[in-house]
Amino acid sequence: MRGRTPRFLRRISAVHHLTPEQRRALMGVCGRLCELAPQRDILVEGEDNAHGYVLEEGWACRYRMLNDGRRQILDFLLPGDIICGNDSQVWPAGHSVATLTSCHLYLLPLAGLPELCRRFPALQEVSDWMTQCELAIVQERIVDIGRRNAPERVAHLLLELMYRLRPVGLCTGRSYELPLTQEMMADALGLSIVHVNRTLRRLNTLGLIRYLPGQVEILDEAELMRLAEFDAGYLHQSEGAAQSGDAA
């Protein structure tokens, strides 16, 4: 049964009440579900993008490349997230978006959205909320990279991912699948691969997490939150909804 409701509706519903009519309207603007291999660009920096996507399954990221090959991942995109080329149509995208794993996504033509939001002011609110979530996440990342050391950064990322995966049913208790290579984490956290490795290893040894490539379990959530000064508030999830998970 579960899995029938698209993940993005699940994610929205955890925070915003949607009438059946609004759900239908949202589903209506989505194109058909398509599949993409890992490591494929979805949106490319500098191009104009007439449509976005809804990520139903798999992980993706926003990223920027520097000339000499350095990469910075701006944000991870998880199932249920909506991917707009940041800039509704007018401005060329300032960054690229790529799949990290194989993904299922709905095409989302942006043309109809403004009209839809005008017809359903509640959807304008939802849209604003999503934008604010995104903004809050990148702001938190700035604090991470700018002022937290490696263990704090890694801890913060692992907690953020847990809290974001919960509402879409991808976190069982305190463990979840983490389909990121250490290189991807490094590119998101502004660290080197080697240092991410050492840091994960250390958090393992300290008994705060159990990390195995592809899988994490948060062993000592309280201590990890203290270490990272993590406060889930910035994710803008409602209190109750944050608890719902597959296993809950």
Partner DNA sequence: CGCTAGATTGAATCAATTCAATGAGCGTGG
Partner DNA sequence: CCACGCTCATTGAATTGATTCAATCTAGCG
- Site residues, a second copy (CB under 8 A): 46, 62, 64, 66-67, 70-72, 74, 86-88, 90-92, 94-95, 114, 117-118, 121, 124-125, 128-129, 131-132, 134-136, 138-143, 145-148, 187, 189-190, 229, 233-234, 236
Asked if residues 35 and 102 have their Cβ atoms less than 8 Å apart, the reply is: yes
Residue 150 contact partner, candidates DNA, a second copy, none, CB within 5 to 8 A by sort of partner: DNA
Residue 87 contact partner, candidates DNA, a second copy, none, CB within 5 to 8 A by sort of partner: a second copy
Please give the residue ranges that form the binding site for DNA (CB under 7 A): 149-150, 181-183, 190-195, 197-198, 200-201, 213
Shortest CB 188 distance to a second copy, Å: 8
Q: Which of 184, 162, 179 is nearest to 213 (CA)?
A: 179
Residue 197 contact partner, candidates a second copy, DNA, none, CB within 5 to 8 A by sort of partner: DNA
Shortest CB 122 distance to DNA, Å: 41
Residue 160 contact partner, candidates a second copy, DNA, none, CB within 5 to 8 A by sort of partner: none
Shortest CB 217 distance to DNA, Å: 14
The radius of gyration of the chain from alpha carbons, rounded to an integer in Å, stands at: 18
β-strand pairing of 96-99 with 103-109 = unpaired
Could you list the beta-strand ranges (E) of 20-134: 33-36, 41-43, 51-57, 60-65, 71-77, 82-83, 96-99, 103-109
Q: What sections of the chain are H helices per DSSP?
A: 7-13, 20-29, 113-119, 121-147, 150-165, 182-189, 193-205, 221-228
Residue 200 contact partner, candidates DNA, a second copy, none, CB within 5 to 8 A by sort of partner: DNA
Taking the C-alpha atoms of residue 54 and residue 78, their distance in angstroms, rounded to an integer, is: 10
Query: Which CB, 29 or 158, lies closer to DNA?
Result: 158
